[in-house]
């Protein structure tokens, strides 16, 4: 029996802030809209099926944003799952909007953030958002906006005080920005770029591990780089995946009758107890494969070989 034939149990649980507790293998919704997370999905019914199957498999953390689509991911979540299971946590991001060409544009002014929170509430059918990340450009993927981080973050604090959002998270932040925010209010989660071949945010992950802050790596499979035998990323930039690296990952995968993606997910789960993994897909089959990674137990030799890749 291969890993894909078995459904995954909980990969352990993780606290988000003071009140929330989720399974460490969640689901990211960025791939549910059209190509580039822009426009409607090619298969509307298939996107709904993925969301429902994720919950059936034990996912109780969904990562989304109203700029996925825009609006498409949140509308799909509501259509597929509302009324929501009692234990389902939906984390969303604000601080970005899309232009007419689908580009991601910083939008961190206080009035913009307030509008984005209300739009998320309306689209998701919530009275309160359990977890909201402020997305900034500190990790280099999104170009930094003109609004100062302190000004944007002050609005996050205000929205929390007003009860519109529960826990506050940060996305794309530097270690300095994380520490600056933590001096004001507790931070429940950080969502930065991090995967098997990209560890530029290791300093932020270490701080999160030390302070029991959930670390939610976005692009945990390198935007497709680690998700298939072709080793192609959907991004026009990023780390290379050399032939030697591919041999190492494929060797570990073959030893467990697993896929590259399953190895990459298992490595993240093993790397730090603070990590919450959110692989996304528009395929039920790939979803089930990703969830099965919770059963993969890497050996010390596997870990050492994978740790040495970057």
Q: Report the distance separating Cα 239 and Cα 198, nearest Å.
A: 7
How many residues are there in the chain? Answer: 310
Active-site residue identified among 61, 68, 133, 218: 68
Token pair for residue 48? Answer: 């709904």
Catalytic residue at 68? yes
Token pair for residue 52? Answer: 């429902």
Token pair for residue 213? Answer: 């802050």
Element (DSSP H or E) covering residue 104: strand 104-106
Per-state percent for the chain, helix, strand, coil, to nearest 5: 40, 15, 45
Q: Report the distance separating Cα 116 and Cα 96, nearest Å.
A: 9
**Alpha carbon distances (Å) from 43 to 75, 76, 282:** 14, 11, 9
| Backbone phi, psi, residue 62, to 5° | -110, 135
**Alpha carbon distances (Å) from 151 to 19, 136, 227, 273:** 27, 12, 38, 32
Nearest to 21 by CA among 69, 74, 60: 60
Q: Report the distance separating Cα 295 and Cα 289, nearest Å.
A: 11
Q: Is residue 132 within 8 Å of residue 156, measured between CB atoms?
A: yes
Catalytic sites, residue numbers: 68
């Amino acid at each position: 029996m291969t890993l894909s034939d078995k459904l995954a149990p909980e990969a352990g649980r993780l606290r988000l802030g003071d009140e929330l507790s989720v399974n460490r293998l969640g689901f990211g919704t960025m791939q549910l809209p059209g190509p580039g997370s822009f426009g409607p999905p090619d298969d509307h019914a298939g996107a709904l099926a993925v969301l429902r199957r994720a919950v059936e498999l034990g996912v109780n953390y969904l990562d989304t944003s109203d700029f996925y689509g825009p609006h498409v991911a949140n509308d799909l979540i509501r259509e597929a799952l509302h009324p929501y299971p009692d234990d389902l946590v939906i984390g969303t991001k604000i601080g970005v909007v899309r232009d007419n060409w689908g580009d991601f544009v910083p939008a961190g002014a206080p009035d913009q953030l307030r509008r984005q929170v209300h739009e998320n509430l309306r689209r998701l059918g919530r009275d309160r958002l359990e977890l909201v990340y402020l997305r900034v450009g500190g990790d280099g993927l999104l170009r930094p906006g003109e609004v100062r981080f302190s000004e944007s973050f002050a609005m996050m604090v205000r929205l929390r005080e007003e009860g519109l959002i529960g826990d506050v998270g940060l996305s794309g932040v530097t270690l300095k920005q994380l520490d600056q925010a933590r001096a004001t209010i507790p931070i429940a989660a950080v969502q930065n770029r991090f995967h098997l071949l990209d560890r530029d945010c290791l300093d932020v992950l270490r701080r999160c591990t030390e302070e029991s802050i959930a670390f939610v790596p976005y692009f945990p499979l390198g935007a497709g780089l680690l998700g298939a035998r072709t080793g192609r990323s959907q991004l026009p930039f990023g780390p290379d995946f050399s032939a030697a690296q591919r041999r190492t990952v494929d060797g570990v995968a073959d030893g467990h009758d697993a896929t590259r993606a399953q190895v990459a997910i298992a490595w993240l789960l093993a790397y730090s107890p603070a990590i919450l993994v959110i692989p996304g897909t528009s395929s039920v089959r790939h979803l089930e494969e990703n969830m099965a990674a919770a059963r993969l137990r890497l050996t010390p030799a596997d870990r050492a070989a994978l740790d040495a890749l970057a």
